[in-house]
Amino acid sequence: MTDLENHYRKLERMYLQARVNAEIYTGIQLHVENERAELSLNISTKYHHAAKAMHGSVYFKMLDDAAFFAVNSIVTDVFVYTVSFNIQMLRPVAHGMIKSIGELKFKSNNLFIADSTLWDENNKLVGRGSGNFMKSKIALTEEIGYK
């Protein structure tokens, strides 16, 4: 396994160990590649709002997380953070597997821009996102689950 492949797997493990994912978003999956990340989650009623469709917070999480890990795939020393993120919720989702794909679009010394798309199980686009990310001062270490 190359150093970069090892980095991707450590990012995936760190993500899955995060309390929010282990306790609330159970079953969420992440796959990281160079400048790209893909998330999947099976939507059940626990993610619904009162109108019985997926809550907007799930759209945001899936879109932001995919873009975030597309960026962190090329930043191997520190945790990145979201500076700003805009989403468009295009279609409601009530059930089934959703998939979010994030891709790095711009990089400079400390500013990164990534876009993401969210798809339902019928491969219909249900959401889009775009965000700005920067390097933090938090080192990628075992203490934060990067192992």
pLDDT for the residue 126: 98
Rounded mean pLDDT of 20-25? Answer: 94
Q: How far is CA 14 from CA 35, 40, 88, 125, in A?
A: 18, 16, 27, 28
What is the pairing mode between strands 36-43 and 96-107? antiparallel
Read off the pLDDT band of 1 (50, 70, 90).
confident
Residue 42 belongs to domain spanning: 3-144
Tally of domains in the chain: 1
Give CA–CA dist 100/92, Å, rounded. Answer: 15
pLDDT for the residue 123: 98
pLDDT tens-digit map of 97-145: 999 999 999 999 999 999 999 999 999 999 999 999 999 999 999 999 9
Rounded mean pLDDT of 14-36? Answer: 96
CATH classification at residue 31: 3.10.129.10
